[in-house]
Amino acid sequence: MNLIVLGLNHKTAPVEIREKLAFDTQESIREGLKKLTQTEGIKEAVIVSTCNRVEVYVCTNGENEKIIKSLKQFLSEFHNIPIKDFENHLYIFNNKDAVIHLFKVASSLDSMIIGEPQITGQVKDSFEIALSERATSLILNHLMNRALFTAKRVRNETRIGENPVSVSYAAVGLIKKVFDDLSKKSILLVGAGEMAELAMRHLIGSGIKNVYVTNRTYERAKELAKEFNGIAVSFENLKEQIAKSDIVICSTGAPNYVITEQMVKEVMPLRKHKPLFLIDISVPRNIDPLCNELDNVYLYNIDDLQDVVDSNILERKKEAEKALNIIEEETEKFFQWLNSLQSVPVIVSIRNKAEQVRQEELEKFKSRFKELPPEVIASVDYLTQSIINKIMHSPTIALKNNCDNKEILIFAARRLFGIDSEEE
């Protein structure tokens, strides 16, 4: 029994190749699974296809070389693309490496953005499709469940997905460190830069309802305000509007400071010194950096936000190291389970044989002592059962336990209990 993963991802293949090999729809995955499970040597299969990766997980009882060739053939025929076009971009992992790879993928350690949460859901979806197509059985069912469990452990036991790694999300995260209930806050957008728009969208998504937009061109302010369900305000009233707002996002093309330290200084008493969060996404900067020196004023420019993002990325990388330990632990557990499977048939055979001997001897006993009352016969039945169970306990535990020379132990057990001769 072998596990193989064959695939490519954003690190190994350019987007042109990835899109050619992608299984775009659920239907195409279902169709692919049908073909795979009909392939000789493949017992179980799962296809994971996202915008960044295409992977085929199979459980086989055939020769590895042959299966890998079949898998390449399958991808080539299914997508109508010559093998040589994608062969060099492929990675292939067997057994332990395949399990580690899947656990890394599910836990988002192999993603473009480490810790991004979507991939776990995508792996889960892929598994569910395979389940509904009956393309998986004992091994891959257990493997996929363990992968999802591992991903959950990684998420719970590390801080891998905790801090945002995009500038606009980082801005939202910082704002939430200052304000409690965003739905009661007001936000002012000054200018109409693309990134400011994105941050606005995230903030509106976080619950901010009072949105004001101002721009040197009032018409453009009106357009944007309409887009955000907000109110356009005149650029001349900028100071008054800042006094009414809790968050200001500035993104204009002006070459100088649109919001000056003096302006903010004058504004703060008007707003009873309530905190003011300023985000300056313009280059060159549009908000005087000295504003950050004022009490209860917090100013972040694009570099500050990028620094926050960079440190969050670094943090995620550190957490990824902790996640690797979890993955190692879970891989170990999976192989313990897999090994225990090997011994199950032997244990069953030994127990069956013992039971058979017991029944035969019990019958002989019954026919020899016919005059004995049924309670005594029942007691003897119980006694023999107990003896068998006690004798079988140690060999069962030894066979179930994970050990280095498991195959030798299974071989010895078969010989000692005469199972092979029986089967022959």
For the chain, the farthest-separated pair of C-alpha atoms sits apart, in whole angstroms, at 114
Q: How far is CA 382 from the centre of its chain?
A: 51
Q: How far apart are CA 99 and CA 57, in angstroms?
A: 10
- Residue 298 CB, nearest distance to another protein (Å)? 5
* Secondary element (H or E) of residue 53: strand 53-60
In order, the DSSP letters of 368-388 are: H-TTS-HHHHHHHHHHHHHHH
User: Which of 8, 28, 5 lies closest to 86 in space, CA to CA?
Assistant: 8
Residues 6 or more apart whose Cβ sits within 8 Å of residue 357: none
Are 419 and 353 a contacting pair, CB within 8 Å?
yes
Of 57-65, 111-119, 304-312, 407-415, the segment contacting another protein by CB under 8 A is 304-312
Are 198 and 168 a contacting pair, CB within 8 Å?
yes
186 binds another protein (CB under 8 A): no
Q: Residue 179 or residue 235: which is nearer to another protein going by CB?
A: 179
Site string for another protein, 93-132 (x = CB under 8 A): ----------------------------------------
183 binds another protein (CB under 8 A): no
Of 104-112, 177-185, 233-241, 249-257, the segment contacting another protein by CB under 8 A is 177-185
Are 300 and 280 a contacting pair, CB within 8 Å?
yes
Is 403 one of the annotated binding-site residues? no
Is 241 one of the annotated binding-site residues? no
Report the residue from 180, 219, 404, 423 that binds another protein according to the rule CB under 8 A: 180
84 binds another protein (CB under 8 A): no
Question: How do strand 247-251 and strand 91-94 relate by DSSP bridges?
Answer: unpaired
List binders of another protein among 264-283 (CB under 8 A). 272-275
Token duo for residue 72? 């390449």
Identify each DSSP E strand in 245-291 by its residue range.
247-251, 276-280
Are 12 and 45 a contacting pair, CB within 8 Å?
no
- Residue 323 CB, nearest distance to another protein (Å)? 14
Is 26 one of the annotated binding-site residues? no
Residue 183 Cα distances to 179, 188, 207, 245, 296, angstroms: 10, 14, 5, 13, 20
174 binds another protein (CB under 8 A): yes
In order, the DSSP letters of 295-337 are: TTEEEEEHHHHHHHHHHHHHHHHHHHHHHHHHHHHHHHHHHHH
Is 398 one of the annotated binding-site residues? no
Q: How far apart are CA 147 and CA 330, in angstroms?
A: 8
List binders of another protein among 333-392 (CB under 8 A). none
Is 422 one of the annotated binding-site residues? no
Of 33-41, 147-155, 176-184, 250-258, the segment contacting another protein by CB under 8 A is 176-184
Report the residue from 145, 237, 296, 356 that binds another protein according to the rule CB under 8 A: 296
- Residue 332 CB, nearest distance to another protein (Å)? 23
Report the residue from 20, 79, 142, 159 that binds another protein according to the rule CB under 8 A: 159
Q: Residue 21 or residue 305: which is nearer to another protein going by CB?
A: 305
Report the residue from 266, 307, 360, 422 that binds another protein according to the rule CB under 8 A: 307
179 binds another protein (CB under 8 A): yes
Of 173-181, 227-235, 283-291, 340-348, the segment contacting another protein by CB under 8 A is 173-181
Are 319 and 159 a contacting pair, CB within 8 Å?
yes
Token duo for residue 57? 């997980």
Is 192 one of the annotated binding-site residues? yes
* Secondary element (H or E) of residue 411: helix 406-416
Report the residue from 194, 219, 295, 423 that binds another protein according to the rule CB under 8 A: 295
Report the residue from 131, 178, 362, 377 that binds another protein according to the rule CB under 8 A: 178
Q: Is 225 helix (H, G, I), strand (E, B) or coil?
A: helix
Are 53 and 8 a contacting pair, CB within 8 Å?
yes
Report the residue from 61, 311, 356, 379 that binds another protein according to the rule CB under 8 A: 311
Q: Confirm whether 403 is a catalytic residue.
A: no
- Residue 286 CB, nearest distance to another protein (Å)? 19
Report the residue from 16, 80, 177, 371 that binds another protein according to the rule CB under 8 A: 177
Token duo for residue 284? 């060159």
Annotated binding site for NADP(+): 191-196
Residue ranges binding another protein (CB under 8 A): 156, 159, 174, 176-181, 272-275, 292, 295-296, 298, 300, 304, 307-308, 311, 315
Annotated binding site for substrate: 50-53, 111, 116-118, 122
Give the residue numbers marked as catalytic.
Answer: 51
